[in-house]
Structure 1
Amino acid sequence: MTAAQPALFWAPYAWLDGQWKQQVCLQVGPDGHWSDVIAGVASAPEQATVLQGPVLPGLVNAHSHAFQRAFAGLSERRASEQDDFWSWRDRMYGVALRITPQQMRAVAAQLYAEMLLGGYTQVCEFHYLHHDDRGLAYADPATMAWAIADGAADAGMGLTLLPVLYERAGFAQPNLRNDQRRFAGTPDFIAGLQKTVAQSGRPLVNAGVSVHSLRAASPASITRLLEQVGDSDMPIHIHIAEQMQEVRDCLAHTGKHPIAWLCDALPLDARWQLVHATHTEPAEIETVAASGAGIVICPSTEGNLGDGFADLPHWLQHGVPMAIGSDSHVCRQWNEELRWLEYGQRMRLQQRNVAASPATGQSATAGRLLEAALSAGGQAAGQKRWGLQNGARADMLVLNPRASGLLGIPSSHTLDAYVFACDTPAIDAVYVAGQQVVAQGRHLRGEPLARDFLEAMNGLHP
């Protein structure tokens, strides 16, 4: 993607400061960030591009395993009496062991193009596919990271690359399984990879670090990685408390539930993102809230894998930053993730509009969820500012007001309808850093990206 050119847009209405504002001018600066966002401009300035629909900010997809896009839809059959997260994981490893750097680039590019069509403009890539199919380091240790970054550039997606510390198969297993050999990484390797990516100067790319999970990394190694990170202002992500078996194993080996152990053992702060955080105790939620750390919920994947329901009411009640992610990519649209986040709670609690909070002036369920995902997503991606505001990157979505589910809806209910009543694509245009990447509901490079993806899939699934 080339450098952004200064540009001026005018929208009939746009989502600013948690609500719809009318007649909005949006100015893009030469750095690809918003230099001015003003509501109440009665008519479009002569030099402005007039946008034909309501404007939303792009969202951060705060948790992604890009290679798993090549496995989406291929695990929906059961050949034995039992099928769960762990059996799904074993089958998924088959793709992880086969994918090449070239295929990784093609799969990532297609995935990220689909994410852009679904309203995401930045992705946090939880990257643990480090080595070749024999488990040996590439001549350039960052080979697979560059494949992902190249795929993001091909699609025009912003990328937060999060190399993952992954060193053992479980609490009681000191080493990885053979089918996990591509994942191996020491704290020094992970810190070095983060530094390499962060200092690469690639447009729209930044980097943090991740710990796969408490079961997959020893306390000593986690501590060593944090020593390497020091007080650097970078995101730190970890899978935690996703599955009850993980909770039971952690309790058996440490005497504590996973989040309780993490909060007691490590100095959590606003850099930390607890991915899934599905199985929790009330005291754990309170402790996370006090630390400033955030959570990342991935509703479609958690539903697909049978993980369970996060305690959304209490996370929201305690003001914990809550981003969303698409994880294994059975869904690539944020409105559907928010829909199922709310629907899961409705089924669990047999109530409606669970996420709404009339007492605090947040009576719109979709609005409260979007605002949570916006601010927390920026934090998860290491972005200082995010959304339609001065200083944030100039990312935006333009909805098609005639799309199914939006046609005839009063402007004040546009977001409600987009999240809860749209079952077909409704995004007409997408801009990243002031540059258009989607027009008339199509990615501008969709055809060549799809061809490369088909070639990769044919090689992975002959």
Structure 2
Amino acid sequence: MSGLTEVRGKDQDSFWSWRSLLYQFASRIGPEDIRAITAMAYAEMLEAGFTRVCEFHYLHNAPDGRRYDDPAEMAGQVVRAAEEVGIGLTLLPVFYAHSGFGGQPPAEGQKRFLSDVESFAELLEDVGQHTVNQHDFVLGIAPHSLRAVTPGELKLLLLMDKAGPVHIHIAEQEKEVQDCLAWSGARPVEWLLHNAPVDGRWCLVHATHTNDQEIHGIAKSGAVVGLCPVTEANLGDGIFDGRAFVSHGGYYGVGTDSNVSISAADELRMLEYSQRFKTLSRNVMTGEGYASTGRSLFEHALAGGGRAAGISVGLAPGNPADFMVMDETRLPEAAAGGDRLLDAWVFRGKSHVISDVWRRGKHVVEGGRHVNRSGIEARYKAVLGTLIS
């Protein structure tokens, strides 16, 4: 959908109008389509500096809402795309049952996402059949949001997976905060911290609209905040209070969410610049002990991202040999390397700085391009042409 939603509608555009277009687009995607689209996105991620993706996977059902003969058909296509491209995968099947707080009936556009507790348990089991030969695959769960899952359902979901990552969208929009207050008398993050065992395996995606007590509570819990700064800017979500969160020692990672732009550097730069807009100051996300903002952003996002993905990160015995090479000739001012190189990569905003990427010791990006880009891109363009015709 990148580039297809930047036309003003009759009314004021918002996250909610964008979501309606998303539902229309998603209703047309079949199993082979999702594999082609996912492979293209994953190839671009590797080219842009991501070696692992946490896939918040929505599409489970056929376009008419019925389950496929294999309930994990769509998830299996995502797994195969990741295997084909060579990116690490943490798969997070989404549990989505309601359209609003208090168990409101789902909307028509949500029928491809829907599960009940029993069918979701079957889905998790069936995903295993598609991942038998995956070396470092991680399976977690994603109760979509407090809008889409009831308290009782959330408790049952957590019993299904007591060790893997748990990702949940929360407090992305002001409307969500107001609706949660009307339903429970508490703000979304406030409610979650008091009613769920939030700890280091949780990732609270967005957490944009939070107060000081909630910020402190997330940091104290050890949960990661999953920030998607480019998407949050594109949708007009708001600005997370990064300065306060870092001051409390909180963990954060970054992701591309709607994939309007796929670039690790873009996400980190947008994160820092959003904080500068908010605080009217510079070098806001430079954590204690750091002189370089680029290095602070990179290392915090790496640590938080690994935590959210359920993996250990860094070049160390037992870890995957995942690393990238930057072409210093494209950043001549950073010839000294080290912190200066990271600062230039994040803030200069120049494309194609990453020349090569290895994933599990395999050379997957050469000269700035995925080694199989031509075939992946051809399949993607064929699918896209059909979907937007």
TM category (shorter chain) comes to over 0.9
- Counterpart of 1:397 in structure 2 is 324
Q: Which moved more, 1:74-83 or 1:115-124?
A: 74-83
Report the Cα distance in structure 2 between the residues aligned to 1:141 and 1:306, rounded to whole angstroms: 35
Report the Cα distance in structure 1 between the residues aligned to 2:113 and 2:82, rounded to whole angstroms: 21
CA RMSD of aligned residues (A): 1.3
| 1:433 aligns to 2:364 (yes or no) | no
Give the alignment partner of residue 446 of structure 1, picking from 346, 370, 373. Answer: 373
Higher strand share: 1
Give the alignment partner of residue 128 of structure 1, picking from 44, 53, 58. Answer: 58
Report the Cα distance in structure 1 between the residues aligned to 2:125 and 2:98, rounded to whole angstroms: 23
Larger radius of gyration: 1
User: 1:11-37 CA distances to partner (integer Å, 9 max, x unpaired)?
Assistant: xxxxxxxxxxxxxxxxxxxxxxxxxxx
User: 1:52-106 CA distances to partner (integer Å, 9 max, x unpaired)?
Assistant: xxxxxxxxxxxxxxxxxxx111000112131000000001111111100000000
Higher relative contact order (CA 8 A, sep 6+): 1
Q: Which moved more, 1:110-119 or 1:315-324?
A: 315-324
- Cα drift, residue 422 of structure 1: 3.4
Report the Cα distance in structure 2 between the residues aligned to 1:296 and 1:458, rounded to whole angstroms: 32
Report the Cα distance in structure 2 between the residues aligned to 1:124 and 1:259, rounded to whole angstroms: 21
- 2:97 aligned counterpart, secondary structure: coil
Report the Cα distance in structure 2 between the residues aligned to 1:346 and 1:460, rounded to whole angstroms: 39
Report the Cα distance in structure 1 between the residues aligned to 2:221 and 2:306, rounded to whole angstroms: 18
Report the Cα distance in structure 2 between the residues aligned to 1:159 and 1:237, rounded to whole angstroms: 14
Instruction: Give, as a single letter, the amino acid of the residue that structure 2 aligns with 1:380.
Output: A
Give the alignment partner of residue 302 of structure 2, picking from 371, 374, 377. Answer: 374
Distance 1:198-1:387 versus aligned 2 partners, 3 A rule? farther
Report the Cα distance in structure 2 between the residues aligned to 1:409 and 1:356, rounded to whole angstroms: 22
Instruction: Give, as a single letter, the amino acid of the residue that structure 2 aligns with 1:307.
Output: D
Give the alignment partner of residue 336 of structure 1, picking from 238, 241, 266. Answer: 266
| 1:233 aligns to 2:233 (yes or no) | no
Give the alignment partner of residue 343 of structure 2, picking from 393, 403, 416. Answer: 416
| 1:111 aligns to 2:41 (yes or no) | yes
For 1:16-27, list aligned pairs within 5 A. none
- Counterpart of 1:87 in structure 2 is 17
Contact 2:321 2:361 in 1 (8 A): yes
Structure 1 unaligned residues grouped into runs of 5+: 1-70
| 1:201 aligns to 2:128 (yes or no) | no
Contact 2:334 2:341 in 1 (8 A): no
- 1:197 aligned counterpart, secondary structure: helix
Structure 2 unaligned residues grouped into runs of 5+: none
| TM-score of the superposed pair, with normalisation by structure 2 | 0.96
Instruction: Give, as a single letter, the amino acid of the residue that structure 2 aligns with 1:73.
Output: G
- Cα drift, residue 174 of structure 1: 2.6
- Counterpart of 1:323 in structure 2 is 253
- Counterpart of 1:457 in structure 2 is 384
Higher helix share: 2
- 2:356 aligned counterpart, secondary structure: strand
- 2:343 aligned counterpart, secondary structure: helix
Report the Cα distance in structure 2 between the residues aligned to 1:187 and 1:363, rounded to whole angstroms: 48
Residue identity over aligned pairs, in percent, reads 42
- Cα drift, residue 318 of structure 1: 1.1
| 1:300 aligns to 2:230 (yes or no) | yes
- Cα drift, residue 154 of structure 1: 1.7
Q: How many residues align?
A: 386
User: 1:166-201 CA distances to partner (integer Å, 9 max, x unpaired)?
Assistant: 001111553211111101012233333334334632
- Cα drift, residue 408 of structure 1: 5.2
| TM-score of the superposed pair, with normalisation by structure 1 | 0.81
Report the Cα distance in structure 2 between the residues aligned to 1:133 and 1:316, rounded to whole angstroms: 43
- Cα drift, residue 315 of structure 1: 1.1
Report the Cα distance in structure 1 between the residues aligned to 2:83 and 2:236, rounded to whole angstroms: 33
Report the Cα distance in structure 2 between the residues aligned to 1:172 and 1:264, rounded to whole angstroms: 17
Give the alignment partner of residue 209 of structure 2, picking from 258, 264, 279. Answer: 279
Distance 1:407-1:364 versus aligned 2 partners, 3 A rule? closer
Report the Cα distance in structure 2 between the residues aligned to 1:102 and 1:460, rounded to whole angstroms: 12
- Cα drift, residue 331 of structure 1: 1.4
Contact 2:102 2:150 in 1 (8 A): no
Contact 2:256 2:262 in 1 (8 A): yes
